[in-house]
Amino acid sequence: MQIKLVGEKHALVVYLDGEIDQHTVGDIKNAIDKEIRRTNAVNVIMDFRKISFMDSSGIGMIMGRYRTVSLLGGTVILYGCTDLIQRLITMAGLGRLIKITNNLDNALMLL
């Protein structure tokens, strides 16, 4: 798993590449949480274009980031999700809490 974090308009943009599973979520959580504290970002935008697989531990990772930023008045936005990942998110009920869009420009407009 490769993680790249970039600040953009009071948001932390998280570029992910690889699989999100029980072996990788710890590193993802730690990297995002550390950067939220360092930059005082209130929104998290996750780029899922290069995610080849996600299991239920990915749902937990997204939920945890949602809880963190919602306490700060922010939100979580995902973009570039495959149909399979989007269905998983919908079935887990996350679609009511987070926003899903097609690209970074749309995600930034949702802030």
pLDDT digits (tens, 9 = 90+) for 16-41: 999 999 999 999 999 999 999 999 99
Helices and strands in the chain: count of H runs, count of E runs: 4, 5
Instruction: Extract the residue ranges of the chain whose pLDDT is less than 50.
Output: none
Task: Compute how many other C-beta atoms are within 10 angstroms of the C-beta atom of residue 20.
Answer: 23
**% of the chain beyond a pLDDT of 90:** 95
Query: 2-109: what fold?
Result: Transcription Regulator spoIIAA (3.30.750)
**% of the chain beyond a pLDDT of 70:** 100
